[in-house]
Chains A and B, each alone.
Chain A
């Protein structure tokens, strides 16, 4: 494998984009990434597109080909990848793989989702396609429900309280206030969170990421290739793992083994320890997920995720800043775009240009988790001098 860099990134705002089709959102983000990378579009050797529910919610598939055509790419492979909420991270990994393997010198990863036009029960039904619908779906379980159960197991084992979990919500919503791409940054009080309606006990409305439209894109290139004026960001590791799709495959609901294994392999590939990570953008689809993920990634000791959040150690100025972008909770979760949106945020941090800049950020980690932990990607990025 040869060294690969992120040469350019682009993103739409996450939130409502009434009347804008998924293809147009994807093209908008991709045009920005291509321009920033300073590559000619005929030089792009492959397109990987992350999307989850376009067929279900908009009746439109073959998005990869449509986006390739909208961008005026050459006759190159345009491939949609799907791994539920990890679709964007998987698209990035495939683009990285295409360049790292020498198959092409430049590749484009785009993630997109269009969801806000659909009523909530339809969105819930669409997202439920990420569940094992032979074993878990028939019970009426939903993803908020799964993470409500994760919370109870974490609480029974480690003493996690409403106050601990609210600290994650307040931090991420606050971080989102300064991010121009974020859907719903907010200055929330603990009372406002506790008074918001229950969604799947003990999860309340503010514990859940919003329904979003949006797109994000990344151009990756061989490290020795000429790139645009933006500082090239090194891809130190790109890993994808599989876990069980069914709840019965998770004997311990306070951890996702797909995350644990992806992190282990990523640290090995990058040749670093978790302590060398300066910040992380991780998959906080629900507040409790950030606590679980921070432990699974080895950024926080096991059983201490809720305590570190409550003590402010995961804030932008903390020991290990987590989701300085606002995360899925505040920035939004246009499912197929999320993993690439995380990489977008990490790249801005490593260029020193983030609205919530982490001081001296040299190494950043992104974590994207799909379904009931069925698919996971972990990416480690480094500043040119890292």
Chain B
């Protein structure tokens, strides 16, 4: 998979031109107010670990890549994102740990690392 490696990665979000609500997208209209004017903005790529898991039985297209960790992160902007967490197996971890995006997988999937324990 092509990878973009950067020390700190900014993540693209959509902001509603009418009500200002943020959404990870993709969407055609603002989920909050239905306005159609959405603009691309950049998020810092830092946030809080909501939850995570280690996938040991992947779907067919990822066979051979296991184990890998998938996480849900709440960005500091408030938006929830599903991405990867590295390294795959590093205990202890806890919901609430501070994370930062370190790179993008396939130009789209954010890869996070824990930067500070909760």
Interface residues of chain A, those whose CB is within 8 Å of chain B, are 120-122, 124-125, 128, 134-136, 138-142, 144-146, 148-150, 152-153, 156, 197-203, 246-248, 250-251, 253
Contact = CB atoms under 8 A, between A and B. Distances in A.
Interface in B50-90: 50-63, 65, 68, 70-72, 79-84
A140 B95 contact: no
Contact of A141 (B24, B55, B94, B95): B55
B70 A139 contact: yes
A200 B54 contact: yes
A203 B56 CA distance: 10
B96 A156 contact: yes
Contact of B83 (A134, A139, A144, A149): A139
Contacts of A136: 82
Given A140-B65, A201-B53, A201-B54, A149 B72 contact: yes
Contacts of B53: 144-146, 148-149, 152, 200-203
A206 to B, nearest CB: 14
Contacts of B96: 156
A251 B50 CA distance: 9
A202 B79 CA distance: 25
B51 A138 contact: no
B83 A197 contact: no
B51 A124 contact: no
**Which 8 A/B pairs are nearest by Cβ-Cβ distance?**
A148-B53, A149-B51, A121-B60, A248-B80, A125-B59, A156-B95, A201-B54, A125-B60
Contacts of B60: 121-122, 124-125
B109 interface: yes
B52 A152 contact: yes
Contact of B55 (A145, A153, A202): A145
Interface in B81-118: 81-84, 94-96, 105-106, 108-109
Contacts of A122: 60
A253 B72 contact: yes
A183 B33 CA distance: 47
Contact of B95 (A135, A138, A152, A247): A152
Contacts of B79: 248
A197 B54 CA distance: 12
Contacts of B23: 248
B58 A156 contact: no
B2 interface: no
Interface of B: 23-26, 50-63, 65, 68, 70-72, 79-84, 94-96, 105-106, 108-109
Contacts of A152: 51-53, 95
**From A124, A134, A139, A142, residue with most partner B Cβ within 10 Å:** A139
Question: Which of B54, B63, B72 neighbours the largest number of chain A CB atoms within 10 Å of its CB?
Answer: B72
A248 B57 CA distance: 23
A140 B51 contact: no
A150 B59 CA distance: 19
Nearest to B85: A139
Contact of B68 (A140, A150, A248): A140
Contacts of B24: 135, 248
Contact of A200 (B55, B72, B105): B55
Nearest to A121: B60
Given A152-B95, A198-B54, A138 B63 contact: no
Given A149-B52, A248-B82, A253-B72, A199 B57 contact: yes
A238 B26 CA distance: 33
Given A149-B53, A198-B56, 18 more contacts: A120-B57, A121-B57, A124-B59, A140-B58, A140-B59, A140-B68, A140-B109, A141-B55, A141-B82, A144-B55, A145-B70, A149-B70, A152-B95, A200-B57, A201-B53, A201-B54, A247-B72, A248-B79
Contacts of A120: 57
Nearest to A198: B56
25 contacts: A121-B57, A122-B60, A124-B60, A125-B61, A139-B70, A140-B58, A140-B70, A140-B84, A141-B70, A142-B55, A144-B55, A146-B53, A149-B70, A152-B95, A156-B51, A156-B95, A198-B56, A200-B54, A200-B56, A203-B53, A247-B80, A247-B82, A248-B24, A248-B79, A248-B81
